[in-house]
Amino acid sequence: MMSATHLAHHFLLAMPALKNPHFFHALIYICEHDDDGTMGIVLNRITEYRVGELFGQLGIRDADKNTKERLLLAGGPMQAERGFILHRPSGDWEASLTVQDDVTLTSSRDILEVIAQGKGPAENIIALGYAGWSPGQLEQEIADSAWLTMPADSDMIFNTPPDKLWQSAAHAMGVDLNLLSSQTGHA
């Protein structure tokens, strides 16, 4: 049975004590949270790979220069070879999930082909892989003080540089990261 707190369209802010390299200082956008588990995209893990390299591997030619030069994000350790695109709703794509009225997750090649031409959704984030949790796992991690949660801000997703997201989300929560202990526990 799903918990009373539905976390889709929420941010997960990693607490300073979380040392897992995939999630250290991570800000994750939760796309799905249901009886089958949780799926999200890490928004602030920049890779050294450019979008143009992904297009080349997929055989997508004649890509827009600015698009090709963008860096890919590491969306999480699950299916790290697969692309996931967070974007503002537009178009009719083969494999899309409307997370919220103003955020869609698409994982099909058709959107990449249109983005390559500079004609796709103007606001988009391309990530390889996703973060996933089995049923109840994320709820336990939250109870263990590994994460803070807050409703997501789609403008923050698309308009804040990835290297500023962790701090920006904490500020939006009213949390001073410098005052948080790297130790966890319960009183």
Euclidean distance between CA atoms 98 and 32, whole angstroms? 10
Query: How many Cα atoms sit within 13 Å of 18 on the Cβ side?
Result: 19
> Residue 183 above 60 pLDDT?
no
pLDDT in tens, 80-135: 999 999 999 988 898 999 999 999 999 999 999 999 988 889 899 999 999 999 99
Q: What is the pLDDT of residue 102?
A: 95
Domains of the chain in start order, with CATH, are 10-179 (3.40.1740.10)
Quote the pTM value: 0.91
Other C-beta atoms within 10 Å of 171: how many?
A: 12
> Residue 149 above 90 pLDDT?
yes
pLDDT in tens, 5-35: 589 999 999 999 889 999 999 999 999 999 9
Assign 69 a pLDDT band (cuts: 50, 70, 90).
very high
Give CA separation, 71 vs 10, 51, 80, 127, 170, in Å: 24, 6, 15, 9, 24
Structure tokens at 142: 């939250």
Residue pointed to by tokens 């997370």: 99
Q: What is the pLDDT of residue 178?
A: 78
What's the chain's average pLDDT?
Answer: 91
7, 30 in Cβ contact below 8 A? yes
Euclidean distance between CA atoms 65 and 109, whole angstroms? 19
